[in-house]
Structure 1
Amino acid sequence: MTLSSMFKPATLCQCIQGGVVKKTRIFGITTLATMLGSIWAEQADLLLLQLWLLGLFTASLMAFTAAAISWWTDGSTDQGSSR
């Protein structure tokens, strides 16, 4: 199938049953738009999932860093205790 036939009604199936030729026609542009739309929707869902996981990871990393800094600086103030 060439690119120019994608934008014209393309005959997908010609079956001869009882002397009658049945033609199933579908518009290539509609099929192409449907396929691109479904691919885009799937990619958008994956992108949202990745963004959500990235946000979750960033929030947990920030909380861990804040807890580690708080724990590290809690007992390490040695000012005035050198006597």
Structure 2
Amino acid sequence: MKQLTRLETREDNLLDLVTDEDIASKAAQGRLRDIAVERRTLTEKLTRTDVEVRERAEHVLTTFSYFATRMTSACPQTQA
């Protein structure tokens, strides 16, 4: 997330320069494209990480549920 914020700041600064100076230089356009590519790469990486975390969390919850069920059936509580 910090990297995405940094990219947004760089992009905003470039856009301000282009707008303020009314310059649409090839260098600025190239830098804006580079920022867009980096943003897309970071977003894709973040999405993959999110999916991995969700899958692992589901596995942990399933495993926990399995062992909780086994513990409950192995150690029945006595009724008073």
TM-score under structure 2 length normalisation: 0.65
Structure 1 runs of 4+ aligned residues shifted over 3 Å read none
Q: Structure 1 residue 47 and structure 2 residue 50: aligned?
A: no
Match of 2:61 in 1: 62
CA-CA distance at 1:76 after TM superposition: 0.2
Unaligned runs of 5+ in 1: 1-6, 10-25
What is the alpha-carbon distance in structure 1 between the residues aligned to residue 35 and residue 41 of structure 2? 10
Paired AA for residue 76 in structure 2: T
CA-CA distance at 1:69 after TM superposition: 0.2
Between Structure 1 and Structure 2, the one with more strand by share is 1
TM-score under structure 1 length normalisation: 0.63
What is the alpha-carbon distance in structure 2 between the residues aligned to residue 78 and residue 44 of structure 1? 50
Per-residue CA deviations over 1:22-80 (Å, capped at 9, x if unaligned) read xxxx6111001100000000001100000000000000100000001001111201416
Between Structure 1 and Structure 2, the one with more helix by share is 2
Larger Rg: 1
Unaligned runs of 5+ in 2: 1-17
Report the count of equivalent residues.
Answer: 59
Q: CA RMSD in A?
A: 2.0
Q: After the TM superposition, which residues 12-51 of structure 1 pair with which residues of structure 2 at under 5 Å, given as runs?
A: 27-51=26-50
